[in-house]
Structure 1
Amino acid sequence: MKVISFDKITEMAVSPLQCYEWVSETISHKKTALLPPKISLKPEIPGVFYNTMPAILPHANWAGVKLVTRYPQRAPSLDSQILLYNLKTGENLALLDGNWITTMRTGAVAAHAIKLLAKKDFKEIGIIGLGNTARAALKVLLALYPENNFTIKLKKYKNQHELFIRRFHGYSKIQFEILDTYEEVVCSSDVIISAATVFDHDVCPDEYFKEGVLVVPIHTRGFTNCDLFFDKVYADDIDHVKGFKYFDHFKFFSEITDVVNGITPGREDDRERILAYNIGIAVHDIFFAGKLYEMIGEKCQEISLHAPVEKFWI
């Protein structure tokens, strides 16, 4: 079994467009995958969880499981690891750090939703929550639209908006606006990316969402009012949203994979308000892990758990 560290993964400098291609392939094959809902265990420690996400990808001959933990006092609070297997043989191929994979696949999935579902010639992009995932989403989006001029509207938060602008200072075709309120971001944006992890309530009333807007709530929080009046709702997996309070009130619902494969329609009108809970699922993690194993597995440390090789060993 190979051990593939965060440092080894980041050294590969996988391009944003490559991340988009990996996500696109996985989405197109989603119906062939085995993907149970994640198991979320929450001990009696405030803010702590252990989320376990298994998946099997027959088209790629990989299987695996990701474990994500959250401890609020840890920096960063989220951490994850992935076990990767050869589906045909059951061989445990690798133990990988899951942090880069989780962030970049989530950003690429958000960008995929925008490319698929945003209205034509969108120009105003609002971003709420300015951490690594938002950075990843914008990196992939800018790689997909290298010639487009975008105005990026950032919800002001501590000094994170300043750090965000500094990170993208080399992109000549984008300009930034710093806005003080959620309402200002929402009412002026064609696309809204929300990467904030905590909201105690919805970010703003219905009337601020203009016609044609696409909302991508990466952490599924803050937009439950949109569930009730948006024209269409999409998700990467129905089992991850069917427990939502207003799921039965969606006007229209489809999985993204069905749009990609021509089974259900995507955007049909530039006036449609669309909500995309396209947030990333375990099949993306396992596919990324498999691709990285192919790229760098031979360069990484080998370990053995010395599992028994005889049928009877007691």
Structure 2
Amino acid sequence: MSQKLLYLSQDDVKNVGLTMAEIIEATEKGFVEMGNGNVEMPPKPGIHPGEGGDNFIHAMPAYIPAMNSAGVKWVSGYPGNQKKGLPYIMGLLILNDTETGVPLSVMDCSWITAMRTAAASAVSAKYLARKESSTIGILACGVQGHTNLEAMNVLFPLKKVMAFDPSKENRETLAAYASGELGLEVSIVEDPKQAVTGCDIVVTSGPILKKPHETIKAGWVDEGAFVSCVDFDSFFSRDALNQADKWTTDNLPQYKHYKDGMGYFQQCPDVYAELGELVTGKKAGRENDMERNFAANLGLAMEDMAVAPLIYKQAVEKKIGTWLPL
């Protein structure tokens, strides 16, 4: 019996039309399964071609029985790509049939990665931020700046965006998106402190660096604020990070792998909880309006595999993509 798989380009994946709200819902369901111990997901192995140690290519497998999803993502992140006119993040995702192991689809993972990463930030914020949060600071206004803003706007009554980026083009593009697409008030700021102090939610979304540039200093993050460190600990001084009342991550074994095996997250606070513990109620989220709460989510294969079946199902239904012989 001949087999075939569905190839989905980046445009195909986008054209499926999955919304951020749907992705947040699927991602939270995945974290419920993870919090209850029902996800098989080894810490991602990786290689680091080139000099400096900031380039990575990771293999990310996961199996979520309750979501009938299994597969692997092969994804790269090269900070220097931006100077070459290439995306920072690129890669492919393979979705397998859970009954037979047959590959069902190969799809571009750049859009999925951008969206599910932001969705995880939003899920963390749901449990760690103040519900009435209305002002958000975005530090680094590239892809993750856009998608994190989109995701936070789904869950919170956002009104104002403070946008900081060394690139004038990046901050102006984000400002146009925030005002034009989301209807939010935007202030482009030259001083990074203005995108932190006075903000209910802060998102740092630059490249992941082994040596943090420590732009954000102690005292900048207000009491009661929530911070999503999409770029790990790259933006923060150690003194600033250690003002966190709750320092959380999405997966403790993977966090320890990054910290002990790869040298990230040095001199950071002790991890209070995994995101799966927060969504299942095993650990308390925000407990008062004064807490400074942080999420240092790493990006999990589980998140990709929570979203990929939705992409595949809708692509088949809408006749999107190219069927290839296996």
TM-score by length of 2: 0.86
The Cα offsets for residues 23-46 of structure 1, whole Å up to 9 and x where unpaired, read as 111111113111111112012445
Q: CA deviation at 1:78?
A: 2.3
Cross-structure match for 2:166? 157
The structure number with the bigger radius of gyration is 1
**1: CA distance, partners of 2:117 / 2:302:** 12
Q: CA deviation at 1:57?
A: 1.1
Larger mean Cα displacement after TM superposition, 62-71 or 41-50: 41-50
Q: 2:236 aligns with which of 205, 223, 228?
A: 223
Cross-structure match for 1:2? 6
Q: CA deviation at 1:303?
A: 1.9
Cross-structure match for 2:191? 181
Q: CA deviation at 1:169?
A: 2.7
**2: CA distance, partners of 1:267 / 1:2:** 43
Cα pair 2:47 2:56 within 8 Å, conserved? yes
5+ residue gaps, structure 1, are: 306-314
**2: CA distance, partners of 1:78 / 1:278:** 16
The Cα offsets for residues 69-122 of structure 1, whole Å up to 9 and x where unpaired, read as 234345123211001112222111111110110011111111222222112422
Alignment of 1:172-211 (within 5 A): 174-198=184-208, 200-211=212-223
**2: CA distance, partners of 1:104 / 1:239:** 23
**2: CA distance, partners of 1:51 / 1:35:** 13
Cross-structure match for 2:255? 241
**2: CA distance, partners of 1:42 / 1:92:** 27
Q: 2:77 is aligned with what amino acid? A: R
The 3 A distance-change label for structure 1 pair 271 and 261 is same
Larger mean Cα displacement after TM superposition, 28-37 or 66-75: 66-75
Q: CA deviation at 1:281?
A: 0.9
Cα pair 2:140 2:204 within 8 Å, conserved? yes
The 3 A distance-change label for structure 1 pair 296 and 172 is closer
Cα pair 1:109 1:279 within 8 Å, conserved? no
1:260 matched to 2:279? The reply is: yes
Larger mean Cα displacement after TM superposition, 221-230 or 207-216: 221-230
**1: CA distance, partners of 2:113 / 2:182:** 28
**1: CA distance, partners of 2:146 / 2:88:** 18
The Cα offsets for residues 231-284 of structure 1, whole Å up to 9 and x where unpaired, read as 11111111232223235x42x610111111111100101111111113431111
5+ residue gaps, structure 2, are: 260-264
The Cα offsets for residues 144-171 of structure 1, whole Å up to 9 and x where unpaired, read as 34xx352111114322211111123335
Q: 1:142 aligns with which of 153, 164, 167?
A: 153
TM-score by length of 1: 0.89
When the two chains are superposed, the root-mean-square deviation of aligned CA atoms in Å is 2.0
Cross-structure match for 2:262? none
Q: CA deviation at 1:15?
A: 1.5
Q: Report the secondary structure of 1:112's partner residue.
A: helix
Cross-structure match for 1:286? 305
